[in-house]
Structure 1
């Protein structure tokens, strides 16, 4: 083959091969492009699937959150309803003018076995007048009464943007024989003002150790007086209460009310202190003397379930506020007034032994100044005392909420300024000491 023929043959093959290679390259590129598009489509589909799953999970979580909110709201409403029902029970009566009434009270049986004491036919304290040794003593006697049974009514009525609140409470310890209906509390409370009869602002029972005896023991006071009083709050922990009171002192001719003041302060959650003062004019015939007194009370929770209480008084010229005292003033032959003066203290500790049982140990003491003029002005010196003291221990058991039972032992003595004298010979027929030795019991049903 010559050169020309070879050249033509090569050119022909080149022309034939080139289109074939181009088509093959184009087909490969198309295949690669189609493969890339397929992978991209698969990736996009998977991403959309994952987004949809995430959206469903978020929606489910949102539903759980909303459900939990509903449950929390229902629980909070239920708790609030329980708190409201326990804090302020539904009134038993509501008048057309919007006044709400709540009835409460108890049925109470008191009993006392007197080992030694006075002939007084009542199972309550009478330490300042128990029989002196050797003269009209009374021993081994059982006494009982339901006179301390109470009935009370709490009420409130809207007046403007405030409520007028009040209380009426009675029992059957009135009269000379302690068997008549009497008013314990009857007052109205509007804002910081109180008008009516309730615990004296000076001789309050808040700091007395617990007793079964409804009349309390030496150093205590259960005085309720008609009064007008105002409370000033300096802070949540401190307030001042001032009052004008009618102490109902039958031994004098009264023309002015007693003025009392009480400063209360809470030093901590477990420590409360009260400082009190009193002043009152005493008039017998045309003679006048100013009686006065101070008091300090402390309540201290030593540890949860253990509470210490103490109450102290120093009083001159008054026998109407603190219990079991000598007569506040006596008149001499020339008409001059002589005042009695005393110090008293009551202290006790209460221990809880669970939800159903608690008990108290207590002690009370009262000492009177030995004023010879006061003694000389008193015809019967057996009726005035130099010293009084009592100690007691009790336990209360509440098997169920409405029921409560208590048992208490008390022992005390009084020392008079003089013995009992024979009417004819004027010679002593007794000692100067009288004894109070009793076991008290109580059963209470509260409603």
Structure 2
């Protein structure tokens, strides 16, 4: 009897040790096999005790029952641990969009940031009105030229704050369907600096994804968002970058993307003014290829456009012209943390895609036909990490237009450029505190010019 009790005590100790180490075992593929072998040994012992029922004391029977119960609890604990670890692995694989909740077969995730800016700005060629969007971020085409220099004007704003909501629905049959809606408060009316600063929300992005297809409004396929450098300004290297969001239909297969995007022709009239004809009938066509690797990424994009104007705008003959362009961009890793970003774009009839429409797509000849305007632009940027939580970006960009001055007059922009540098400190990962200095210049075809100096301090919390 004493001998059997010793064996039963050993079995209980073994079961108890498994219970305490189940989370570690759950990481091994053979945990269930080990439990099966141990359970078999206990069952054999119980069967022997059952055959010797008359000789077994009540204490021995109780020990046997406890051993079996301990094994059952151990198996349940291991199963729960495996489920938790699987859930954690799935969340890690999902990346930053693992926040959110499920409603039926739809997973809803959210994100965005809250950003507060203090901007002090001075312009050499005239005063920028207090309600102008040119005081919220750099718009090269609105840098004043030919006027009296202003002092440093300071504004506080939280308008860049944004929020997005994403969904992904399991529809079965291997299909993936999702949506993305994103809002912010830039370039909208409704607020004032006197009392409320209550600016109206606007739609930044709103699209549906289905397998390899995208339908809706997002960044133009001609633009490489991943090449934009870190800037406290809303965009940063504005004169030298492609920048456009619009409705489209896009197909993606690996690194290849093909898109049909919203057409819109902007025309420079004989007086130098801008006319938005609204006569377009063929989508802008974009083909793009992205190559990614350990080095970073490289992107090549080509665009073809049909620029069109109708007689109802100018009272002349109908005409259309071809616009086209090529953009090369990328991000190259330097060392363990630093990176170098760049973009170079050239073509004709690209006006509204470059630098927030610095110049227009085409000018109108005397006979009513269109003369596409050639443009050249680009930027470079280097980001250096001084420490894990302190970094700086230095960037410069340039834009040049080949305007047909006979048609556009000398009052249109000939070139624009800017440089900026910043330092950003992140006391904790989601929070960025930074300061940035920017200098930008705009020059017209007639030689007149103006510059802008800006100091910006920002706090941004990403969630």
TM-score range, shorter chain: 0.7 to 0.9
> Which of the numbers 81, 90, 102 marks the counterpart of 1:94?
102
Distance 1:211 1:293, change over 3 A: same
Distance 1:409 1:336, change over 3 A: same
Name the counterpart of 2:401.
368
> Which of the numbers 278, 282, 290 marks the counterpart of 1:264?
290
- TM-score where L is the length of structure 1: 0.74
Distance 1:109 1:91 in 2: 24
Distance 1:65 1:101, change over 3 A: closer
Distance 2:137 2:230 in 1: 14
Q: Contact 2:265/2:307 (CA < 8 Å) preserved in 1?
A: no
1:208 shift after superposition: 2.0
Aligned-residue CA RMSD in angstroms? 2.8
Give a deviation string over 1:241-298, Cα, whole Å, max 9, x none: 00000154452321111000101112x4013111100011111121101111100012
Q: Contact 1:204/1:223 (CA < 8 Å) preserved in 2?
A: no
Name the counterpart of 1:328.
361
Q: Contact 1:225/1:248 (CA < 8 Å) preserved in 2?
A: no
Question: Is the aligned partner of 1:230 residue 2:251?
Answer: yes
Distance 2:413 2:151 in 1: 22
Matches within 5 A, 1:266-285: 266=292, 268-285=293-310
Structure 2: give runs of 5+ residues left out of the alignment. Answer: 1-12, 29-80, 192-198, 267-275, 311-317
1:168 shift after superposition: 0.4
Matches within 5 A, 1:128-277: 128-132=141-145, 134-161=146-173, 162-175=175-188, 179-216=199-236, 217-233=238-254, 239-249=255-265, 251-252=276-277, 253-266=279-292, 268-277=293-302
Distance 2:430 2:89 in 1: 20
Q: Contact 2:265/2:308 (CA < 8 Å) preserved in 1?
A: no
Name the counterpart of 1:103.
110
1:110 shift after superposition: 2.0
1:300 shift after superposition: 0.7
Matches within 5 A, 1:355-434: 355-369=388-402, 371=403, 374-379=404-409, 381-382=410-411, 384-418=412-446, 432-434=448-450
Matches within 5 A, 1:295-306: 295-306=327-338
Structure 1: give runs of 5+ residues left out of the alignment. Answer: 1-59, 234-238, 420-431
Distance 2:428 2:456 in 1: 21
Distance 1:175 1:254, change over 3 A: farther
Name the counterpart of 2:39.
none
Q: Contact 2:350/2:375 (CA < 8 Å) preserved in 1?
A: no
1:72 shift after superposition: 3.8
1:79 shift after superposition: 5.5
Name the counterpart of 2:74.
none
**3-state DSSP class of the match of 2:24?**
helix
Larger radius of gyration: 1
1:109 shift after superposition: 1.4
**3-state DSSP class of the match of 1:173?**
coil
Distance 1:390 1:247 in 2: 29
Q: Contact 2:363/2:407 (CA < 8 Å) preserved in 1?
A: yes
**3-state DSSP class of the match of 2:201?**
strand
Equivalent pairs, count: 364
Q: Contact 1:192/1:231 (CA < 8 Å) preserved in 2?
A: yes
Distance 1:166 1:115 in 2: 42
Distance 1:72 1:261 in 2: 51
1:163 shift after superposition: 2.7
Distance 1:192 1:184, change over 3 A: same
